[in-house]
Chain A
Amino acid sequence: MIYRENGQFKTSYLADQQIFTIAQDKWFVLGLIAFAAIGVPFLADEYLFRAVLIPFLVLALAALGVNLLVGYCGQITLGAGAFMAIGAYAAYNFMVRVDGMPLVLAMLLGGVAAAGFGILFGIPSLRVRGLYLAVATLAAQFLCDWAFLRIGWFTNNSASGSVSVAKLEAFGWVINTPVEKYLFCLIFVVVFALLAKNMTRASIGRQWMAIRDMDVAAEVIGIRPMYAKLSAFAVSSFFIGVAGALWGFVHLGSWEPAAFSVDRSFQLLFMVIIGGMGSIMGSFFGAAFIVILPIFLNQFLPFLGGLVGVTVSTAGISHAEFIIFGSLIIFFLIVEPHGLARLWSIAKQKLRLWPFPH
């Protein structure tokens, strides 16, 4: 009976266009953010920050970027990892080559660089779609894999091929401990999620969705396909690029091109499919799911094997992971293309009517 919109009347279109049209939703999400910012640092230990929370936040940001492109604009990408790499390496180069470059600015510039390449590799989308576009994005992936491995300039001619950032400092705040890293990522994620939400509820978001749902009709009502598609590529790549910079700078600390391989691209796409295409919330669900599942399997499968007297090898666990991910992808695409986010909204719908069934 708590979750009801009864008595919440909207008297202006402004009120009707809020992000959360039901007050309880608003308080729930605000509460969640407050808890993440204040409560979590007291509760979580270092392992949790390093292995779960920070990867979750960064990958959620990247998944959000992928979702804008795949879920909202309907353009498939298999090269998200490449744009993460561009963001990370561009930010790195801004840091080492420009004296006194502030950390946050470098990361944003990394995102801008990724956006530029996003536009470049999005150009084929003006002529082709579906699979053919997937190939164009794969081209970006393999080109980047190669470039960051073989061209010394990008890694500042580092002998080992791996690069690292010495000191993280933003606005006088030195980011050292896992908690600080976590909070730093959290700020990025909250701000970017808000920006994404704003875009999707405004004209640009409708243009993307129109292109996704029926591109010919979209063009007939005056949407320029070029602008809509390329802006989706740019914004999406910007998000992914910033996430890449966070992944390299904050999560890994020092990294090699393999951190942004084609497997990463697939992983991000899976997050979007499982979490829910065309849903901001879904990106978070998907990222959480994919970060937590392997950890869970690592604990649970040996335990399960112990019960029936079988030793489960590490390889066995990783195979199980493959099978489960694959099956879930198939399951969600067949049964629920809107993913976990859809299940969430069904749950909310039920809650609204509770305790009555209809």
Chain B
Amino acid sequence: MTNASNAAPAAAQGGRKFGDVILDLQNISLRFGGVKALTDISFNIREHEVRAIIGPNGAGKSSMLNVINGVYHPQEGKIMFRGQERKKMEPHMAAKQGIARTFQNIALFKGMSVLDNIMTGRNLRMKCNLFQQALWIGAARNEEIAHREKVEEIVDFLEIQHIRKTAVGALPYGLQKRVDLGRALAMEPEILLLDEPMAGMNVEEKQDMCRFILDISDQFGTTIVLIEHDMGVVMDISDRVVVLDYGKKIGDGTPDEVRNNQDVINAYLGSGH
């Protein structure tokens, strides 16, 4: 890793302060049977930064996110969370540690309304037990309302007030992506993993989504890890970029450094250039 990448370009992004390393991935290797999805990958994520993971199709980007939030378990390597080694954990435990994510192929709860979808994100913070909920007595009702208020804030933030009671299955693609983001935001995560948040969007929708991502970073100070194919977007909004190709890391640094990295250029344009 280059020194430059550790000296975070704080000034470039309106004076946001980067904190310490929050998540440190060390020598991660992941295999499915004989297929190597990730080979010996190390990089870190700092608090409050926007960290992008890029690479051609099949480079292992989604696998990397799946490793971070516990869907896949790497065969080798360590994951340090706030300086402590993380044990093998299930996705819901990662969620408890404050890691939220959105999905490449939207994974919303199709049979539920927008509000209910986002409310599921509050689940970890709801404490009433089943009996209280069944009786809908004081505590359960108050809790429901308190969280509803929180969710309404997110609804306002993402500008989806008009569809809050619509079933998500009936929404157009771009709005579904927003609801997906809303559900992750409702968890008030420390780290937000975004898997191709702008895939398949038109220019306007992309602009909206970029604005939301930067606002989230600014207003909530959330650390964001982002997978994206649109290079323009990546170079504009991310602080540091890690480049994967065939499951290996071939570049890491600020957008400018990565842009000029010969390995990266080869990977994207072919080595003949």
> Which residues of A approach B to under 8 Å, CB–CB?
12-14, 16-17, 195, 198-199, 202-207, 209-210, 212-214, 216-225, 231, 235, 278
Q: Chain B 119-141 against A: per-residue CB contact (8 Å), 1 yes, 0 no?
A: 11111101010100111100011
A216 to B105, CA, bound (A): 12
Interface residue ranges of B97-134 to A (CB < 8 Å): 100-101, 103, 107-112, 116, 119-124, 126, 128, 130, 133-134
Tell me the smallest distance from the CB of B31 to a CB of chain A, in Å. Answer: 20
CA distance A12 to B145 in the complex (A): 9
Q: From A12, A16, A213, A231, give the contact of B130 (CB < 8 A).
A: A231
Residue among A202, A222, A223, A231 making CB contact with B144, cutoff 8 Å: A202
CA distance A12 to B144 in the complex (A): 12
- Chain B hits for A206, CB < 8 A: 112, 116, 119-120, 123
Interface of A is mostly: helix
Collect the chain B residues with CB atoms within 8 Å of residue A213's CB: 108-112
Do B148 and A17 have beta carbons less than 8 Å apart? Answer: yes
- 18 interchain pairs, CB-CB under 8 A: A17-B144, A17-B148, A198-B134, A199-B130, A203-B122, A203-B128, A203-B144, A206-B116, A206-B120, A209-B109, A210-B109, A213-B108, A214-B109, A217-B109, A219-B95, A220-B107, A221-B120, A235-B134
**Separation of A198 and B135 alpha carbons in the complex (Å):** 7
CA distance A223 to B116 in the complex (A): 14
A203 in contact with B145 given A198-B136, A221-B187, A222-B96 (CB within 8 Å): no
Residue pair A222, B110 in contact (C-beta under 8 Å): no
Is the CB–CB distance between B92 and A203 below 8 Å? no
Residues of A within 8 A of B183 (CB): 221
Task: State whether the Cβ of B257 lies closer than 8 Å to any Cβ in chain A.
Answer: no
CA distance A210 to B126 in the complex (A): 15
Q: Do the beta carbons of A222 and B133 come within 8 Å of each other?
A: no
Contact between chains at B134 and A207 (CB < 8 Å): no
Residues on the A chain within 8 Å of B135, using CB: 195, 198
Having A198-B133, A198-B135, A224-B92, one finds 11 other A-B pairs with CB under 8 Å, namely A203-B119, A203-B143, A210-B112, A212-B111, A220-B71, A221-B187, A222-B92, A222-B123, A222-B187, A223-B120, A231-B130
A216 to B183, CA, bound (A): 14
Cβ–Cβ < 8 Å partners of A212 in chain B:
109, 111
How far, in angstroms, from A96 to B183 measured CA to CA in the complex? 52
Q: Which residues of A contact B141 (CB under 8 A)?
A: 14
Q: Is B69 an interface residue (CB 8 A)?
A: yes
> With A and B bound together, what is the CA distance between A278 and B183 in angstroms?
22
A210 touches B120 (CB 8 A): yes
Complex Cα spacing A65 to B94, Å:
33
- 0/1 interface trace, chain B 60-71, chain A, CB 8 Å (1 if under): 000000000101
* In the complex, chain A residues whose CB is within 8 Å of the CB of B111: 209, 212-213, 278
Q: Which chain A residues border B122 with CB–CB below 8 Å?
A: 203
Chain B contact patch, size range: 35 or more
Nearest CB on A from B54, distance (A): 22
Q: Is B184 an interface residue (CB 8 A)?
A: yes
A199 nearest CB neighbor, chain B only: B134
Whether B123 lies near A203 (C-beta < 8 A) is: yes
Which chain A residue lies CB-closest to B109?
A: A213
B residues in contact with A207, CB < 8 Å: 120, 123
- Residues in A with CB closer than 8 Å to B136 are 198, 202
Contact status of A221 and B133, CB under 8 A, knowing A13-B145, A203-B123, A210-B120: no
* Cβ-based interface call for B174 (8 A): no
Residues of A within 8 A of B184 (CB): 221
Most buried by B among A14, A202, A214, A216: A202
CA distance A216 to B195 in the complex (A): 15
B108's partner among A12, A202, A217 (CB-CB below 8 A) is A217
**Most A Cβ at <10 Å: residue of B116, B136, B187:** B136
Instruction: Kindly list chain B residues whose C-beta atoms are within 8 Å of the C-beta of A199.
Output: 130, 133-134
Give CA–CA (A209, B109) in the complex, Å. 7
Are B126's CB and A203's CB within 8 A?
A: yes
Residues of B within 8 A of A17 (CB): 144-145, 148
C-alpha gap A220/B144 in the complex (Å): 21
State whether A214 and B110 are in contact (beta carbons under 8 Å apart), knowing that A198-B136, A221-B121, A235-B130 are contacts in the complex: yes
- A258–B145 Cα distance when bound, in Å, is 47
Contact status B101-A220, CB under 8 Å = yes
